[in-house]
Structure 1
Amino acid sequence: MERQMMATAVTLSQIQQQLATVADNIANVGTTGYMSRNAQFSDLLDQQINNIDRNGDTVDSGARLTPAGIRSGSGTRIGDTQLDLSEGSIQATNNPLDVALSSDHQMFLIGVNGGVAYTRAGAFNAQADPQNPNVLNLVTKSGDPVLDQNSRPIRLPAGYNDLQISGNGTITAIMRNGNRVNAGRLGRVTILRPQLLESQGNGLYTLQNLGRLGIGLNQVVQPVGAGNNSVNQGKLENANVDLTKEMSELINLQRNYQLNARSLTMRDQMSGLVNSILH
């Protein structure tokens, strides 16, 4: 009895975690560049319980069609939370500093705390450089520098009249006198193992300690070449959350939670009944 109550309690805690994942997806349905997550359940260890006599031999009551004994489970747990890097819907903004990626698993390079982070949220800004009035820094909404294909901060010439970003991410600033200045190319990578990304908030992701996992960076991240035209200027990518699917999942999880909670209550009531009879 206590064994089954513990298994049910473990399952309830895991359902709560999946509910939090679904709720997070629904809450970010309007967040630019948000990538949804999907939690996957797996069974915990089972234990074989046999009827043993004093000599340690299995006692069976005769011929039977089912295996002897009872297999008792320990509940379920969330085995993995997969990050979905598929493309969301693209929305036009007509802002020359807004860019969206039209290829799955691609991400922009962002500089964070001296390292590199990744994002699909392409709502960028031009920020004045306090050390050089002739330069503007291309940054995210949080002020983090946007990096080029060589992981260097992208700088724009101050006073430009127009800005053009080609399909391969090449940035061209058109000055008031008509001169065209090449300001670099947006850094893009393809993420081969999304499960190794850790969310840092604001649509940013960083990699786990690959050395500890025994994995090389080239096994997880690959640069996107200049021949790939996945960059769309004047557009933003909406969250790739399927609201209908998430709402259906939320209803199913709520029902599973209610069923397990009711099972736990009934077991508690039966234990009380047995105790009252014995005493």
Structure 2
Amino acid sequence: MQRQMMATSVTLGQIQQQLATVADNIANVGTTGYKSRDAKFTDLLFQQIDNMRANADQVDQNNRLTPSGIRDGSGSKVGDTQLDVSLGAIKQTDNPLDLALTNDHQFFTVALTGTNGVTTTAYTRAGAFSAQPDPQNPNVVRLMTKNGNPILGTNGQPIVLPANYRDVHIDNAGAITVELANGTQVNAGQLGLVTVNRPQLLENQGNSLYTLPNLAQLGIGLNQVVQPVAAGNGSVAQGKLENSNVDLTKEMADLINLQHNYQLNARSITIGDQMAGLVNGLLR
């Protein structure tokens, strides 16, 4: 009885984790470039308690497809949360600094500074960029994300544009051409686009930014996970943004199913507690 209640309580905690995943997806249904996650359950350890076999049961044993007895489990857990990198709907904005990627495995590279002051390379699909003044150089502006993270070029350095530019054109390979006020066109660099071959390794850092774990500890080389996009394989669409790929209908259906599962497991604990109370009453 106690083992059943413990297994159920473990499962309840894991259902809460999946509820948090679904809630996060629903909350970001309108977030540009957001990629949904799907939690997968796996069984915890179980114990097979076999019946004592007698000669009379030999016929039954020969015809059984499963072991006779009781399989006593320990509940279930969220084994993994899979990142869905499928392409979201593309919407037209006509803002020259709004960029969408039409290849679902390509990402923009971003400089992300952690709380420890160390700057690492992050990856994003949210292309709602803006040009912000450079506090150290009034002659240029920096290409930044919505939350103020510098966009990196193919050389790994932040991309800067002339401060007095009139228009900017970005082709599908990420090459940036700026038109100055006098009509002169200058090359302002190229976006650092990468292809992430193993997106399930990406760790969510919030604000639609992802980083990679310590690949050396996993025995994986960086080139096995991230590769620069060749000039002819870029998928940049200027003046457009990629919507979240969250399927709201699916998430609401999952939410209802999880609510039913939670109620069933909670009811199981209540019934187990009531039965234990009855047994204790009989022993008095």
Measured in 1, the distance between the counterparts of 2:69 and 2:264 equals 26
The residue identity in structure 1 corresponding to 2:194 is V
8 A Cα contact 1:7 1:75, kept in partner? yes
1:233 aligned to which of 232, 238, 243 = 238
Cα offsets for 1:168-224 (capped at 9, x unmatched): 111100012111111111111111112211111111111011111111101111111
Cα offsets for 1:95-147 (capped at 9, x unmatched): 11110111112110001122100000001111111221111111111111100
Measured in 1, the distance between the counterparts of 2:224 and 2:262 equals 39
Query: Which structure 2 residues correspond to residues 130-141 of structure 1 after superposition, within 5 A?
Result: 130-141=135-146
2:149 aligned to which of 133, 136, 144 = 144
The residue identity in structure 1 corresponding to 2:192 is G
Give the aligned partner of residue 116 of structure 2: none
Offset at 1:60?
4.7
Give the aligned partner of residue 55 of structure 1: none
- Percent identical pairs in the alignment equals 67
Secondary structure of residue in 2 paired with 1:239: coil
- The runs of at least 4 aligned residues of structure 1 exceeding 3 Å deviation read 58-62
Give the aligned partner of residue 255 of structure 1: 260
Give the aligned partner of residue 217 of structure 2: 212
Give the aligned partner of residue 229 of structure 2: 224
Give the aligned partner of residue 127 of structure 1: 132
8 A Cα contact 1:154 1:183, kept in partner? yes
8 A Cα contact 1:60 1:68, kept in partner? no
Offset at 1:36?
0.5
Measured in 2, the distance between the counterparts of 1:135 and 1:190 equals 29
Unaligned runs of 5+ in 1: 52-57
2:250 aligned to which of 241, 245, 249 = 245
CA gap 1:121/1:7 in 2 versus in 1, 3 angstroms: same
Secondary structure of residue in 1 paired with 2:138: strand
Give the aligned partner of residue 44 of structure 1: 44
8 A Cα contact 2:179 2:186, kept in partner? yes
The residue identity in structure 2 corresponding to 1:175 is L
Answer with 126-135 or 246-255: which moved more: 126-135
8 A Cα contact 1:12 1:260, kept in partner? yes
Secondary structure of residue in 2 paired with 1:211: helix
1:188 aligned to which of 190, 193, 197 = 193
TM-score (norm 2): 0.93
Secondary structure of residue in 2 paired with 1:227: helix
Measured in 2, the distance between the counterparts of 1:68 and 1:39 equals 32
Is 1:277 matched with 2:269? Answer: no
Measured in 2, the distance between the counterparts of 1:163 and 1:88 equals 25
CA gap 1:179/1:143 in 2 versus in 1, 3 angstroms: same
Unaligned runs of 5+ in 2: 114-118
Query: Which structure 2 residues correspond to residues 74-153 of structure 1 after superposition, within 5 A?
Result: 74-113=74-113, 114-153=119-158
Give the aligned partner of residue 14 of structure 2: 14
Offset at 1:150?
2.2
User: Higher helix proportion, which one?
Assistant: 2
Offset at 1:247?
0.6
Q: What is the aligned length?
A: 273
8 A Cα contact 2:160 2:188, kept in partner? yes
Measured in 2, the distance between the counterparts of 1:151 and 1:86 equals 26
Secondary structure of residue in 1 paired with 2:154: coil
Question: Alignment RMSD, CA only?
Answer: 1.3
Is 1:31 matched with 2:31? Answer: yes
TM-score (norm 1): 0.94
Offset at 1:61?
8.2
The residue identity in structure 2 corresponding to 1:101 is L
CA gap 1:229/1:195 in 2 versus in 1, 3 angstroms: closer
The residue identity in structure 2 corresponding to 1:26 is I
